[in-house]
């Protein structure tokens, strides 16, 4: 039974007490940096540029996440690095990074899509140890150290969802023979946002209205942005095709 499982918050190695969440966080990001270093070759992105693009884009997205949380709280709280707030901004950050690195923006966007899901899924498993991002009270759920009671295993559900989406993005890129058109990322945003919107109802965070949290609204925005960008790309391609046709 899940209710009988109590995850430890920390472990000790060489006399040092280390948090499990920190371990998942560090290993997760190191893992995707290594993964992207070699995955970039499929998009004709050299390993050095693949690593640089990954590190710089995630560093900027972290900074932007804190700034957005600060603005959202009316400049009273720096908040935290929740990806729901910032994944819609990743293509814009990549646009700013691609040109000076002499890379194609659309290729960069599709290249980064799997890692955005992979790292979130892996790190989310780490949330079960300290009990952060816990779910609503649930008798058969997992114990949350932070909440002090058994909660719905929403962290596990979010992690599995993200890893499934990571697999889908990898398959999509492969089927396109790694020709970046940015659609993989924007398609990913739609189910990512919709599923996160659903999981927000099972989280024990503060709700704004009708049991809907601010992060649920951000999640819906992800789906809306993804859908709008797909329409924009579709009509942009149609326009190019018409211009290429002989008059």
Structural domain containing residue 139 = 2-241
For residues 207 and 214, give the distance between their C-alpha atoms in angstroms, rounded to a whole number.
7
Residue 124 inside a domain? The answer is yes
Confidence category of residue 153, pLDDT binned at 50, 70, 90: very high
The three-class DSSP label of residue 237 is helix
Cβ atoms 184, 113 nearer than 8 A: yes
Q: Is residue 43 part of a domain?
A: yes
pLDDT of residue 62: 87
Residue 247 lies in a domain: no
Which runs of consecutive H residues, i.e. helices, occur in the chain?
A: 20-39, 47-72, 90-98, 105-126, 154-175, 183-200, 214-244
pLDDT tens, residue by residue, 162-191:
999 999 999 999 999 999 899 999 999 999
- How much of the chain exceeds pLDDT 70, in percent? 96
Half-sphere exposure of 91 (CA within 13 A, CB side): 20
Query: Percent of the chain, pLDDT > 90?
Result: 73
Overall average pLDDT of the 39-49 stretch? 95
pTM: 0.90
Lowest mean pLDDT among 47-56, 79-88, 157-166: 79-88
> Minimal CA–CA distance to 173: which of 71, 75, 35?
35
Q: Which two tokens stand for residue 228?
A: 């709008």
Q: Is residue 42 part of a domain?
A: yes
Tell me if 77 is assigned to some domain.
yes
- Number of domains the chain is built from: 1
246 inside domain: no
Q: What mean pLDDT, rounded, does the chain reach? A: 91
């Amino acid at each position: 039974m899940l209710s009988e499982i109590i995850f430890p918050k920390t472990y000790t190695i060489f006399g040092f007490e280390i948090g499990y969440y920190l371990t998942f966080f560090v290993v997760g990001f190191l893992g995707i940096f290594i993964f992207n270093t070699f995955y970039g070759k499929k998009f004709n992105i050299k390993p050095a540029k693949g690593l640089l693009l990954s590190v710089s884009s995630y560093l900027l997205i972290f900074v932007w996440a804190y700034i957005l949380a600060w603005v959202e709280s009316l400049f009273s709280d720096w908040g935290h690095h929740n990806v729901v707030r910032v994944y819609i901004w990743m293509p814009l950050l990549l646009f700013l990074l691609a040109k000076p690195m002499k890379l194609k923006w659309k290729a960069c966007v599709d290249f980064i899509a799997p890692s955005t899901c992979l790292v979130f899924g892996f790190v989310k498993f780490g949330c079960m140890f300290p009990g952060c991002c816990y779910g609503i009270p649930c008798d058969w759920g997992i114990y949350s150290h932070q909440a002090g009671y058994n909660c719905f295993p929403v962290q596990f559900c979010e992690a599995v969802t993200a890893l499934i989406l990571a697999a889908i993005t990898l398959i999509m890129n492969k089927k396109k023979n790694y020709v970046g058109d940015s659609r993989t990322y924007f398609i990913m945003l739609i189910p990512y946002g919709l599923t996160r919107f659903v999981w927000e109802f099972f989280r024990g965070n503060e709700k704004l209205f009708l049991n809907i949290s601010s992060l649920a609204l951000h999640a819906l925005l992800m789906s809306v942005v993804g859908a709008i960008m797909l329409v924009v790309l579709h009509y942009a391609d149609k326009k190019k095709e018409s211009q290429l046709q002989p008059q």
